[in-house]
Amino acid sequence: MIAAHCHVQFKAFSGDSDEVIKKCLAQGMILNLVSTQSTTSAHAVETAERFDGCYATIGLHPVHVFETFVDEKEGGSFVSRAEKLDYEYYKKLAQSKKVVGIGECGLELFHFPEGYTKEEVLARQKEAFLLQYKLAQEMNLAMSIHVREAHDEMIEILKTLPHPIRAVVHCFTSNWKHAQEYLNMGMYLGFTGVITFPPKKSNPQIQFDLLEVVKNVPVDRMVIETDAPYLAPNAYRGQRCEPWMVVEVNKKIAEVKNMGLEEVAKHTHNNAAKLFNIPT
């Protein structure tokens, strides 16, 4: 399987990143190390170049466009370092043959920087996103798109761009209406361990809507992710998420779509390889 989105180059793996990567590769997996800013991008490329079966996606996450307090309950909290996208820096990194994508980039309205209006936040995030779209086009690379509580705004931006759009909406957690919009633009949807979570008692409909998407989306338009070290599947909830746990995502998709495990794995593997132009 291809774990299409993980962050093994992050600090959470600083003591054992090589061991985790080797464990995954020994299981026949392929890893896409996705980045969030200049330093994690450089680290992703350096790491990918040391391992066969390891690739890198480089870019600037919307929480790093501003200094923002980020509290990921299952991955710790931190204050993001504000960064202005340096186009030439990322273009130089993209020269590596191990770089297969740009991102994760997009829009973020869940973690909100203090002292700014929604319009100011979206304007700066949109500027960074469109620069990364330009870079992806110039370098002929796919995009990993982050969207949190901003799907309507993201869809509005994407509709102004030429279709089809070679991209995946990372960790899709919205509804079938939004899913159809992305699919109609030629995009893929990425699913993480979130699909294995039980419904929240406070608002169970969110999980019901997500599983409706998993059921309805064509299997040739899905990729499987972990977002490691975040979002460990329910079977490992509370632990540091690792890329090999993507098997739980595969298992849940097979269950919801009433398909065989190997069939789902084959499709999602081929989808990720096609999207990111990964040789297999």
Percent of the chain scoring above 70 in pLDDT: 95
At 136, phi and psi to the nearest 5?
Answer: -60, -40
Whether the per-residue pLDDT at 114 is higher than 90: the answer is no
- Find the helix or strand (DSSP H, E) in which 188 lies: strand 188-191
Q: Left, alpha or beta for 266 (phi > 0: left; psi -120 to 50: alpha)? A: alpha
Tokens describing residue 268: 């999602």
Confidence of residue 197 (pLDDT cuts 50, 70, 90): very high
| Residues 156, 74: Cα–Cα separation, whole Å | 31
Whether the per-residue pLDDT at 78 is higher than 60: the answer is no
| Residues 155, 142: Cα–Cα separation, whole Å | 17
Q: 225: domain range?
A: 2-276
What are 138-183's pLDDT values in tens digits?
999 999 999 999 999 999 999 999 999 999 999 999 999 999 999 9
Percent of the chain scoring above 90 in pLDDT: 90
253 CB-near residues (< 8 Å, 6+ apart): 191, 195, 214, 219, 222, 224, 259, 264, 268
Tokens describing residue 120: 């100011």
Angle at which helix 151-158 crosses helix 118-139, to 10 degrees, equals: 40
What are 224-265's pLDDT values in tens digits?
999 999 999 999 999 999 999 999 999 999 999 999 999 999
Kindly report whether the global pTM for this prediction surpasses the value 0.85. Answer: yes
Q: Give the pLDDT of residue 79.
A: 64
Flag the least confident range among 71-85, 118-132, 230-244: 71-85
Q: Give the pLDDT of residue 73.
A: 53
Q: Give the pLDDT of residue 112.
A: 82
Tokens 């209006």 locate to: 117
What rounded mean pLDDT belongs to the chain? 95
Sign of the dihedral defined by the CA atoms of residues 195, 198, 202, 204, in that order: positive
Structural domain count, the chain: 1
What are 266-277's pLDDT values in tens digits?
999 999 999 999
Whether the per-residue pLDDT at 75 is higher than 90: the answer is no
Q: What 3-state DSSP class applies to 226? A: coil
The three-state DSSP-derived secondary structure of 88-126 is HHHHHHCCCCCEEEEEEEEEECCCCCCCCCHHHHHHHHH
| Residues 269, 280: Cα–Cα separation, whole Å | 9
Max CA pair span of the chain = 50
Give the CATH number, domain containing residue 62: 3.20.20.140
Cis peptide before 164 (omega within 30 of 0): yes
- Do residues 132 and 103 lie in contact, with contact meaning Cβ atoms separated by under 8 Å? yes
| Residues 202, 222: Cα–Cα separation, whole Å | 28
| Surface-to-core class of residue 130, CB atoms within 10 Å of its CB (0-12 exposed, 13-18 middle, 19+ buried) | middle
Tokens describing residue 180: 């159809």
If we measure between CA atoms, which residue out of 21, 19, 80 comes closest to residue 243? Answer: 21
What are 6-37's pLDDT values in tens digits?
999 999 999 999 999 999 999 999 999 999 99
- Do residues 271 and 222 lie in contact, with contact meaning Cβ atoms separated by under 8 Å? yes
